[in-house]
Every structure is written in C-alpha cells, then in structure tokens.
Amino acid sequence: MIARFKKIGLVLLCLLAAALSVVFWSEGYYLPLSLLLIVLSLIFLFVRFEKKHITPEAVVMIAALAGIAAVSRLPFASLPSVQPTSFVVIVSALVFGPEVGFMVGSAAALVSNLVLGQGPWTPWQMLAWGLMGLSAGYLKSSALMRSRAGRSAFGFIWGFLFGWFTNLSFILSFFGSFSWEFFLTTYAASFYFDLAHALSNAFFIILFSKQWQKILSRISVKYKIFY
C-alpha cells in the first residue's frame, strides 16, 4: 500500500515538474528550470539507491567515505580545482560499485558546500561528482580500469568533464546575456582550472589508487560489508 502511494506520488511529482518546466521555459527562467531538472535526476538516482539491499555497515562506510572526500577538499579551498575529492570518489566506486560511488560523490558535494558556501552550483556539483562515481563503478571490472594507465586516463578525462559540466551552471545563471562568445570565453577561462583538476586526478590515481583499493577491499572483507 505504502509502495503504491509512493509510486503515485512520484508520478504526480513528475507531472508537476513537467508543468513547471513548461512555464519556466516559456518565461525564460533558465536557472530554476535547470535546477529543477537536476534535482529530479538526483531524486531518481537516490530512489535507485534506496531500493538496493544494503547493510548498516555499508551505510556508515558510505558516510565515512563521503566525509573523507568532503574534508579532503577543505584544505585545498584556495586552489579551486586541485583536491583529492574526485580521487576518493573514483576509488570508492572502483571497490564498491556504482551506487556507492554515486552516493559518496553527491553526499560529499552537498556536505562540503555547507562549509564552503551553498549556492546554485551545489546541485550541479552533486550530479557531476555523483555521475563520476556512477560511471567509475560501472566500469570497475573493465580492462580500462584494471590498468593503472587506464584509471588515470579516466580520472584525467573526468577532470575536464566535471569542469565543463559545472561551467554550465555559471552560464545558465547569466542566460539573459547569453552569447556564444560568452560561452567560449567561460570555457577558455576555466581551461587552466580544468587542466589542474585533471592532472591532479591523474597524479593521485597513479600514486595512490592501488594502495587505497587495497585498504578499502580489506575493510570490505573484514567487516563483511557486502554479501
């Protein structure tokens, strides 16, 4: 019965969201429109996570990993793109799979912004880091992720993808003055930061991914986190 109510609620939510998006679109409110769509996609990924059977050990471990990912970002706040958060997200996804990777990434983004300052960029970062974890988790047993070079290439590419994705939140906020010139200038201006993010990801993965995978899989076996 409750499950049925939840389903009806979700359908109603979608209809409401669809109606709102039409209004936002026709009136040119692009920032609320984009935030609405992002929050909806986050909700569906969270629902997916809720449905999976997960032990209390896994729940607390996800929180601890997200906490570590978030805290590791704070000392680097003055260097906008150099931080080990992406590394922690990718490595936890490689060991524990896509759902855990997504949760670690999105929770880390949400919680670290409580310290650094919430803004319209928070949902974008939540989705970007969540998707980074999700994709790393889906690829975890592929040949690409087994080799160290492949893993670091993955981190390098995501360094750029993350920047390109979160740039959109900046551009959409300015939509009233949108021009392709503005678009290109933004992406050119962010190139240095994206490169720094990509290089630091690759650097952390090359040096530490094996060690961290070992630490995490050992914990996973010791406390029977997934069975």
- By CB under 8 A, tell whether 46 contacts other proteins: yes
What region does 83 belong to: left with phi over 0, alpha with psi -120 to 50, or beta? beta
- By CB under 8 A, tell whether 56 contacts other proteins: yes
- By CB under 8 A, tell whether 226 contacts other proteins: no
Residue 164 or 208 having the CB closest to other proteins: 208
**Tokens linked to 153:** 């290439």
Per-residue binding string, other proteins, 192-221, x by CB under 8 A, is --------x--xx--xx--xx--xx--x--
Length of the chain: 227
89, HSE (Cβ side, Cα atoms, 13 Å): 34
Q: Looking only at residues 97 through 136 of this chain, which bind other proteins when binding is defined by CB under 8 A?
A: 103, 107-108, 110-112, 114-115, 117-120
∠ CA 209-214-220, rounded to 5°? 125
> What's the burial of 91, exposed, middle or buried (CB within 10 Å: 0-12/13-18/19+)?
buried
Q: According to CB under 8 A, which one of 16, 18, 44, 75 is a site residue for other proteins?
A: 75
Region near other proteins per CB under 8 A, out of 72-80, 131-139, 151-159, 160-168 = 72-80
CA distance 148 to 129: 21
- By CB under 8 A, tell whether 138 contacts other proteins: no
Output the smallest distance, CB 46 to other proteins, in A. 5
Query: Is the separation of the CB atoms in 157 and 172 below 8 Å?
Result: no
What region does 147 belong to: left with phi over 0, alpha with psi -120 to 50, or beta? beta
Contact residues for other proteins, defined by CB under 8 A: 6, 23, 27, 29, 31-32, 35, 46-47, 49-50, 54-57, 59-68, 70-72, 74-75, 84, 103, 107-108, 110-112, 114-115, 117-120, 173-174, 176-177, 179, 181-182, 185, 200, 203-204, 207-208, 211-212, 215-216, 219, 222-223, 225
